[in-house]
């Protein structure tokens, strides 16, 4: 099982993604401060050409975001977005607005369970037939589940793109979900749960969500509890598909050597029958963020994994960009890395300097996790027991320094580093395709790298300091969360951390 930390150092959309592979790869709150600026999801009308039809589809509405990226909405509401980059290969996938957050306490884990079953055979293909066809095409199929999205995507030769779209249609709408496969995957997921429990960075982020978003679906783990895994049945899986896999919540994204009109034709043929609405009612439960403290002692473990975080912002909140820049200012540090510039850390960063000179931790990483209506902005670190509280203190001091004393030059350097990171993350058809799918679900449109760079350039150093102060330093606003696993018996509480910030500032 492969695991991916998508842009965690920038703006990850979940704390963990579980991945399924088939083919040639191994299996394995608040408002905003920048009210004068438009939400990042708002459309730049001058940069878009709106067409009421696309070749051969006179009733469909198409938006050209730029010379390469086009979006057509089918009659049932499913969006087809392509980015024609030329070449002989492509990445194509389905991004679905359905994940752990759309579950209940009774069926928590069903989205991930479904991901395991989706490649186990359909009414048209057995699992063996599917695997043979995929291997004969030289295609690689993958899937992952996050707290807000489920994704099925694949890489193929451009000439096989139609076959891949048809395969996705088949597994999405005709999966057998037979009892034998359900029972086999049940044991596989229980073993996976044991593996995850040994990944302390994953465990600590699950506990962060559990306590920061207590009594709301964002608190659920992706795998779900063992009791649910043992009780999930075919009826629950079918209900989840019927409720959440509706066309307006699905994006067919393609990048590489793809022709938009062809992809729209295939989408009409293979995905045009997906229902527009669900006969089953569902209301997305709002998040409930709260300050919290939690420590889990693990006997025999001498390294503590700790997360110190405050509430961040949603994807479309314009404060996201100052927080991304602030994220770069706090940066990441690892004892195995000999120079700060390798982690884009400023020489003014006192947190990194303390870690280097005083040996406070083995590593730390600032993160900015975003959801549709909230987020988390903080630092994860690994240290010995005696350095847990000193690390929290130094993190607090660094947040205050960034909010009150960071120089314009330092902030401009962080902006350049952020743009560099964003560009490097788009190195390949798969990365571009994933960005298209995520952006369409989070923002409702494609945001080019050029536009993102312009938005970063528009943010002033004063705005960065103001936003960081509001979310991470203002004692009237912040609600810290302190969560640790390992030797954390003496770890300070969230109230202690808030008082510490108040006293330092």
Residues 6+ apart with CB under 8 A from 322: 33, 34, 459, 463, 464, 466, 467, 468
> CA nearest 400: which of 462, 310, 478, 469?
469
Contact status, residue 168 vs residue 134, Cβ threshold 8 Å = no
Contact status, residue 235 vs residue 202, Cβ threshold 8 Å = no
Alpha helices in 98-257 (DSSP H): 110-117, 127-137, 161-174, 179-197, 200-212, 226-231, 234-244
State which H helix or E strand residue 433 sits in. Answer: helix 429-442
Residues 6+ apart with CB under 8 A from 419: 452, 453, 456
Helix, strand, coil proportions of the chain in percent (round to 5)? 45, 20, 35
d(CA 475, CA 471): 9
d(CA 489, CA 33): 37
Active site residue 115: yes
d(CA 385, CA 404): 30
Q: Among residues 115, 185, 410, 434, which one is catalytic?
A: 115
Q: Are strands 79-84 and 250-256 parallel, antiparallel or unpaired?
A: parallel
Kindly compute the dihedral angle of the four CA atoms of residues 196, 201, 205, 211, in this order, to the nearest 10 degrees. 90
| φ/ψ of residue 380, rounded to 5 | -105, 135
Say how far residue 227 (Cα) sits from the centre of its chain. Answer: 26
Contact status, residue 85 vs residue 138, Cβ threshold 8 Å = no
- Paired with 89 in beta bridges are 157
- Paired with 495 in beta bridges are none
> CA nearest 438: which of 430, 172, 141?
430
Contact status, residue 313 vs residue 297, Cβ threshold 8 Å = no
Say how far residue 183 (Cα) sits from the centre of its chain. Answer: 29
- Indicate which residues carry an active-site annotation: 115
């Amino acid at each position: 099982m492969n695991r991916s930390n998508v842009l965690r150092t920038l703006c990850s959309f979940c704390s963990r993604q579980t991945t399924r592979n088939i083919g040639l790869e191994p299996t394995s709150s608040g408002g905003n401060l920048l009210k004068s600026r438009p939400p990042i999801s708002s459309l730049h009308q001058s940069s878009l050409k709106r067409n009421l039809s696309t070749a051969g589809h006179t009733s469909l509405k198409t938006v050209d975001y730029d010379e390469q990226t086009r979006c057509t909405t089918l009659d049932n509401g499913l969006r087809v977005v392509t980015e024609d980059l030329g070449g002989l290969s492509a990445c194509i996938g389905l991004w679905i607005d359905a994940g752990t957050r759309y579950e209940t306490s009774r069926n928590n884990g069903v989205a991930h369970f479904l991901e395991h079953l989706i490649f186990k055979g359909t009414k048209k293909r057995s699992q063996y037939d599917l695997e043979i066809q995929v291997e004969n095409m030289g295609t690689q199929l993958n899937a992952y589940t996050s707290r807000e999205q489920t994704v099925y995507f694949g890489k193929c030769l451009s000439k096989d793109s139609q076959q891949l779209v048809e395969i996705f249609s088949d597994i999405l709408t005709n999966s057998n979900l037979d009892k034998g496969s359900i029972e086999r995957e049940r044991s596989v997921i229980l073993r996976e749960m044991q593996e995850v429990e040994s990944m302390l960075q994953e465990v600590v982020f699950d506990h962060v969500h559990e306590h920061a978003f207590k009594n709301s679906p964002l608190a659920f783990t992706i795998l779900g509890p063992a009791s649910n895994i043992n009780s999930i049945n075919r009826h629950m899986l079918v209900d989840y598909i019927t409720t959440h896999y509706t066309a307006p919540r699905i994006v067919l994204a393609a990048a590489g050597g793809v022709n938009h009109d062809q992809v729209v034709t295939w989408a009409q043929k293979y995905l045009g029958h997906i229902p527009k609405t669900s006969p089953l009612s569902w209301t997305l439960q709002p998040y409930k963020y709260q300050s919290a403290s939690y420590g889990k002692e693990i006997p025999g473990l001498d390294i503590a994994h700790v997360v110190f975080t405050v509430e961040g912002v949603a994807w479309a909140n314009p404060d996201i960009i100052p927080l991304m820049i602030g994220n770069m200012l706090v940066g990441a540090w690892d004892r195995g890395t000999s120079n700060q510039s390798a982690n884009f850390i400023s020489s003014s960063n006192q947190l990194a300097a303390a870690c280097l000179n005083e040996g406070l931790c083995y590593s730390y990483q600032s993160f900015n996790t975003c959801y549709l209506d909230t987020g988390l902005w903080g630092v994860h670190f690994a240290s010995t027991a005696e350095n847990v509280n000193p690390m929290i203190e130094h993190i607090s001091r660094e947040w205050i320094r960034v909010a009150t004393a960071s120089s314009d030059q330092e902030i401009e350097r962080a902006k350049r580093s952020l743009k560099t990171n964003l560009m490097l993350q788009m190195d390949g058809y798969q990365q571009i395709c994933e960005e298209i799918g995520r952006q369409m679900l989070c923002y409702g449109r494609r945001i080019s790298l050029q536009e993102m760079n312009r938005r970063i350039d528009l943010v002033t150093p004063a705005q960065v300091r103001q936003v960081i102060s509001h979310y991470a330093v203002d004692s009237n606003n912040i609600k810290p969360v302190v969560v640790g696993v390992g030797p954390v018996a003496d770890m300070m509480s969230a109230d202690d951390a808030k008082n510490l910030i108040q006293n330092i500032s």
